[in-house]
Structures are given as C-alpha cells and as structure tokens.
Structure 1
C-alpha cells in the first residue's frame, strides 16, 4: 500500500518511459480512467479563443454560478479547485485535527491517507475484501465510527479502483453516524459521471446532510485531465473554512474556460458514455476469453486478477500497453484497466495474450 511519503498514481510516467527507451507516443495508456472519446470540440474551441494574458478570476464566479444551478444550491456552497486532488488536501488541512483519527473506506485512492498524514492525523482503514466482493461492511463501518469517533471519514463512491457505488441511503446513514461525534464525511464523487445510467444529476443534491462534503471532478468524463479542474459542494460554513486554505489564482483561466464549455455541451456525455461502456463490455469479454478473472461493478474500468500484477504491467508495457497495477491499493494480484477505443483494446488483448502464452 501507499507509503507515508509517496502516492502511486496511474497515467504515463515520462521518467519511467525514458529509462526503458520508450516515448509516450509509442504507448497506449490503459491506466488512466479518462473518456477515450474526448475532449469535446467545444472545449478545444474555448481554449483556442482564450486570452492567456490576464490573471484568472480568483473567485471562479461564472463557473460557480453554473455549478450552483446544476446542484440547486447557493453559490457560496461551491468551491472550485485545481482538480479534485487539491480539494482533498484542502479539506484535510481545513477540517482535520492533528492527532485525531481519519477513517478511510479502502481499498481506495491513496491521496486521502496522504493528505491526512500531512495534516498530522492518525489514519485507520476499513478494508473491503475481494471475496465480499469489494463491498464495504456497513454495520462494521458504523461500529468503527462509534468506536474510533473519526474527525474525517473518507468515502469514494463510485469507488476507485473497485467501481463499487453505494446507495444514497447508505451514504446518508454514514454521515449521520459521523455527525453524532462531530465528524465530517468527505465523499469523493469524481467518478459519478461515468455511471452507465448517469443522468447529469446527483441525487444527493436533494438530501445533503450538513456534515457532508462532496468533491467532484470535471476532467475524467470530458478527457481534460491535463487542465486540472474540480469542485466541492457543501454547506457554506465548511466551504468558507476550506476556501481560506486555497492559494489565490489556484484555478487557471484555461481550466475555467474549459469547464464552462463542458457544462454548456449537453450532447457530449450522452453521445460518448454508451460508446465507452460498449468498449468496456467488449474488453471484459475479451479478457475473460483469455482465461483471466475480471471484476467490474458500476464503472467502465475493470479489475483483472493476474497473479503478479506488477509483473503483468511490466510485460504489457514492453509491448506498448500500460495498465495500473493495484499493489498500492493493497491488491497486488489485480490490475486496473481503463477501456479505450476498440482498436486500442484489441491491441491490449493481443499483448496480454502474448504475455500469457510466453
């Protein structure tokens, strides 16, 4: 799992490629959960028209107005950040207390633990087992909340890397359990818009507990991870506290312009999500035909059981495909695979078949 000083992530690593004598344009990236059918043309047009000379709007006013309309809340309930990752660290610093407990529903994204340790907190994991399959034990989790009284409970739903998506009623129940002891539930919704039946609306907008902090990403479903743009929604009081820790001009003009273009484009996700899910269905079937065990829940990305996932990653990288081995999640036998377009997926299947038979 993650060490205290580093966090392992997916995506291409230019330094690693250089050591192997590879270039990025020679490798297909299956390690990043990014929509392979983007970015939208409207985003590219907005970037071409951008004047990069002025400072960005420090308040992200126009973007916050649009997001407040989407979530049916006041503008003071929205904070825009330099990607969801910045907001994770800001929330840990602003709401965490040195020496207090941060409880993390694992296996999940490593930055939660890293951010909390940087804030001086004690990190405890409540881990879900593959045999469950990967479903959190809610009764045991509520008991842990009662016993540990965490200052922060971190929950990713839909989860990375398992794809498990908890019911809204369960999330509200966990928030209530935290509230009894003055704790916060920080809910990572970065993958909500990747759901097969995504409607463009988060049902939690209609029933948000006061101690619930929701963090969203705009980069994965629109394929603009390089721009770094995310936001959180919560009651105005914690939003104002978290905002005090954010540096000025944290969100670039390019990120703001791209986000406004994404929100205005109502056709892109309905057009591309079905294609992405169809590619996921075909890839899962192809991997199973190779004799591999594939786990998929509510996300297009897959977990593939392959014995030694770090070895499988090295072998596939040598064949021009990179997957995300899940050792850092505490799942060394599993690799996470994000589907791409059909031709790319066919190349991965061919490479994995060569690896199995070599």
Structure 2
C-alpha cells in the first residue's frame, strides 16, 4: 500500500483519515495555502524530492559528522555541568535534532531555540487549537525573515541553495519554499527527539548494551536499527486514501475510502521478526518500516541515523553509569500524540 500510487497521501482526498470523528470541514479555496511536499502525490512529490535529495545524500550527511559530534559533546558538557541528574528530553533530546536540522537549513542557534519552543506548542494536541495555530504562524513569520536575509546574504546552506536554484528560476515561490522548509524542520526534529529518549529507556534497562556501545563503534548501527524497529515512533500509522478500487489480500478497498497503514504492527510481525517484542540488536538484519516505505520513505533517514548513532555512542562513552530516576511504569508516554515518545525523561549518572 505504501508504494502503490492508487493510495494517495493528499489529505484533501475524499475519505482521507483525519484522526478524528468530527465531520471534515468543507475546503475553502480562498484559504488554500502551499502544501508540504510530504502530502503530495506523484509527479508533484517527486519534483520536490529531487530538489532536496542532494542535501541528504550520503556524502553530505557524512560531511556533517564532525558538526553533529561537536553539538553532542557540547550538550553533554552542558548537561553534566549542571549536576548529576537532568531531564534528558529538555537538555539533550530536543536541542540536538533542532540544532542539526536548523544548521542544515541555515537557521542560526537563536532560530533553533525559537523553533524548538514554537514547534513544541504547535505539535501539542493538548493545547488549544488557537494557541497551536498561533505558534506555527509565529515561527512561519520568523522563517520568512530568515529567507529574506538569505536572499540578501546567501550562505552554504539548504535554504540559500533552494533560493538560488529553485526560487530564482521560478520553480518555487516564497510560500512553497516556506512550506518545504517547515516540513523539513518538523520532520527532522520531532521524530529524532523522541527516538533519542525512547532509546535511552531501552539502553538503561540493559546496561551491558551501554558498555558495548562505548567499546565497539561498529555496534551503534545495528543497535540503532533495532531501536527504530522496536519503537517505531509513528505509532498511529501512515494515512492514505484510495483513489480507485484496489484489492489488498482478497479485500477490496473502494475509491474514496481511507486506510491507515499500521507500520508499528508491521515492525513487530512474527512472520518477519523472530520473537518480535524482544530488543535484540544481534538479530538477522531485516528491513523495518520506521522510516516508511516507497516514494515517501523519509528523506532525512541518513541524517537521523547519524544523529542517533553518534549521540548514543557518545552518551555511552561519557556517562557509563547512566540510569533512569524513575521506574519505566511511572514514565508518561505520549500515547495520544501522532509521534510516540516522552515529554520528560529523568536521568542520573
């Protein structure tokens, strides 16, 4: 279903799941704004993806390794300077991906702090709708100022390249550029933040894994892959709408019907993964769906993996006595959020 073009990612399609039982409001053409490319179908989606692929290539991602390592060490330094305990989400898991994706785009340190604050509000389903919309609008306005500055003084960053190569040539307008930048920021921040915190939950329950991470740099990649599988933070699934009748394993899904692809369930499928509820970084490698599949597989996967591998390895090296300050059963998991995770993770070392 994830690779079949008969299933659309466009939320405006008839039957597209809304995650709510409320009636779908009638679309207002006058208010239709530029959409994020992740909600587009082919060929429109492919056009945007081709614009962005060079920024997330293996070469460019690897070139960011020294900078990611520096940010990780800086955050650990700051965390340990404050004492011997902290809220890991606040002092590490949120700032790391926020700063990395902002630096990739060309948003400075202060902008990363603004984004982190506004996105936390905009993505919180417990906030009032007006408050969420206001926070998103405020950061969009801030981003518009950044784009104006990049136009006047371009740098070696993704926003500057998009302005020069896409906006200046008429392939994108300013509204489309802002929507694309916002989509990259949110996708590159929210998921990695919560994967970092959930990963620590697993690793602190098995201290021998922290020791392996500290002593064997090659262990980071399979450990991260298994952590991605066991948690699959997109736990509410991937939404699609059928644009024509499709038969899936003997069942007909009619045009105009919505479907939710339960990727978290797929990543614990016993027909694919032996003993699927057990964290086993030494299991036979099998592809998981933590980053999706098909044309919409996460563009930033190489960067997310790099951040997770570096962060978890450096934490293991520098904080070998790391532990949780609460029982796992006492932690408050984000069951109602689209991205699963933790809003707080009290740790000590």
Common fold by TM > 0.5: no
Higher-helix-fraction structure: 2
Q: Quickly name the TM-score band, shorter chain normalised.
A: under 0.3
More strand by share: 1
TM-score (norm 1): 0.25
